[in-house]
Amino acid sequence: MPENCYWISLDQEKEEIEMLPRGSRVYFPIISRRERSVLSLMAEGYENQEIADELTISEKTVRGTQVNLMRRWNTPDLSSIIDHALEEGWISVYEVLESRFSKRSAQAS
């Protein structure tokens, strides 16, 4: 991405956006913090109730977020939205691997 180009979260604070250098180009991704959080936890292997507990939201909200992403990205199932999120860079394979490694380390001790 060229200099002075910034990706901004849909729910980022206005003050943070105003602090960007003058003349910057701002890009808004089609994903909110909650959607990214749900995707990350899904990729880490969490079940819907575990995601809800972790994010202190209802399981219905988790499922609604998943359904919205499947519709928006025209994906047939949950594993496809993880694949899409990885391809688009919304979540990274390193996050997933690091999380799985730390879970296994904790279980071994």
pLDDT in tens, 26-76: 655 668 889 989 998 998 889 999 999 999 999 999 999 999 999 888 899
Phi, psi (5° rounding) for residue 75? -110, 145
Instruction: Identify whether residues 66 and 15 lie together within a single domain.
Output: no
Number of CB atoms found within 10 A of residue 49's CB = 11
Q: In total, how many domains does the chain have? A: 2
Instruction: Supply the pTM of this predicted model.
Output: 0.64
Q: Is 12 within 8 Å of 32 (Cβ atoms)?
A: no
Smallest Cα–Cα separation from 96: which of 79, 77, 108? Answer: 79
Q: Are residues 59 and 10 located together in one domain of the fold?
A: no
For residue 26, give the H/E element and its range: strand 25-27
pLDDT over threshold 60, residue 5: no
Rounded CA-CA distance 71/68 in Å is: 5
Q: What pLDDT is recorded for position 46?
A: 92
Residues in the chain: 109
Same domain, 82 and 96: yes
Give residue 28's pLDDT: 57
Q: Same domain, yes or no, for 37 and 76?
A: yes
Q: Which residue has the higher pLDDT, 75 or 24?
A: 75
Indicate whether 49 and 62 sit together in one domain: yes
Q: What is the pLDDT of residues 66-87, one digit of tens each?
A: 999 998 888 999 989 988 888 8
Owning domain of residue 72: 33-108
Which residue type sits at 76? P
